[in-house]
Amino acid sequence: MVPRKLPILSTIFLSIACGILLNAQISESINFKCHACHAAVEGFKFAYERNVTSEKIIEFAIFICKTFTHHEPLVCQGMTSQFRAQFLYVVEKLIFAPEQLCGMLMNDCGTPHNPFNSNWTIPLTPKPKIEPYIKSDASFAFTKKQGKSTFRVLQLSDLHFDTFYQPGTESKCLDPICCQADSRNMHQKNPKTRKHIIKPAGYWGTIGKCDIPYWTIENMLKHINQTEKVSFEK
């Protein structure tokens, strides 16, 4: 099936949203953002069910993220671009009703749906035939030879450090990564308002949604070099 060319998806959303809001009975009890979220999800489903290109799906997902979540635009852009394949797979498996998705994004806007309660099926490649490296009937006796030194190996894996880490910044923030100059605390919705640090980031690192600063890595490696006798580093 050839993907159809539709207008810019944000235009579709605005058309649907305006129709809902104009026909609604305007009162203080109406949550306009909730209605707009429902319209956006309907627009998303409308586009997806008509086999639009993956680029348009990503474009609309970024629009919904920027409009109806607390994430910064840079975070919305990064989540859908860095994990593009995974995101499209999840979209294919989970096409939410507006009440489910909007209820998950905002309070009092429907019944949220927990995707972890769904049945997930992930196709895996067949297990290859592997010949055992060591035969089951083999036996070994390890003895240390006289005059031979112990071979010491250092292996460091999965090191995460943040070049934008800044001590004293917010470590309990709304974004996926905290402890940066623009990190907002969990109660600060408007980035322009004055910041109040709930939990300041420490100099060497902080337990939470923060990677460690690069100087912690440097200090660790210097300490290892000064105190440990390593035969091999990996």
pTM to 2 decimals?
Answer: 0.50
DSSP 68-84: HSSS-HHHHHHHHHHTH
pLDDT digits (tens, 9 = 90+) for 82-106: 777 777 776 666 656 677 777 766 6
Least confident of 66-70, 202-206, 212-216: 66-70
- Map tokens 């806007």 to a residue: 109
Determine how many CB atoms are found less than 10 A away from the CB of residue 10: 16
Identify the pLDDT of residue 5.
45
Question: Is residue 24 very low, low, confident or very high in pLDDT (cuts 50, 70, 90)?
Answer: very low
Identify the pLDDT of residue 118.
62
Q: Take residue 186 and report the two structure tokens written for it.
A: 């969990």
- Distance from first CA to last CA of the chain, Å, rounded? 49
Task: Give dist(CA 81, CA 20) in Å, integer.
Answer: 31
